[in-house]
Amino acid sequence: QARLVESGGGSVQAGGSLRLSCKYSGYDDNYNCVAWFRQAPGKEREAVAIIQAWSGTTSYSDSVKGRFTISHDDDQNTVYLQMNRLSVDDTDMYYCATRSQVIGPCATGRSKYTRWGQGTQVTVSS
């Protein structure tokens, strides 16, 4: 059974950094796309960073580009999201999600991802 476990959330002041981790297990991770989504109350869940695990190809939303970095440790089956220069606008619940995709760049839509973690809260104060 697939299992995704996020960790690393917490509270930080604006300008600070946090690193989120997502450890996945229990499924065939060939052609794995791993995405970090975030969602504020009353808003849509949006993908902020995606990595194509077998190629290392990454993509970012405009709101985090240049500040967040997604990376993958194949030996540990873990994906990281390094978040730097955090602002209050980054305050959200962050979710890790995966999908298997053989062809093309990783999908970005929430509905395309079939495996989800429980989420980890990130709170940035001014």
Dump pLDDT digits (tens) for 17-36.
999 999 999 888 888 999 99
Assign 46 a pLDDT band (cuts: 50, 70, 90): very high
- Going by C-alpha positions, the residue among 19, 59, 42, 45 that lies closest to residue 97 is 45
Q: What are the helix (H) ranges across 1-126? A: none
Q: Is 111 helix (H, G, I), strand (E, B) or coil?
A: helix
DSSP state of 86: -
- In angstroms, the CA 53 to CA 79 distance is 9
Portion of the chain with pLDDT greater than 90, in percent:
84
Q: Quick check: 40 pLDDT over 90?
A: no
Q: Which of 1-5, 26-30, 66-70, 92-96 has the lowest mean pLDDT?
A: 26-30
Assign 41 a pLDDT band (cuts: 50, 70, 90): confident
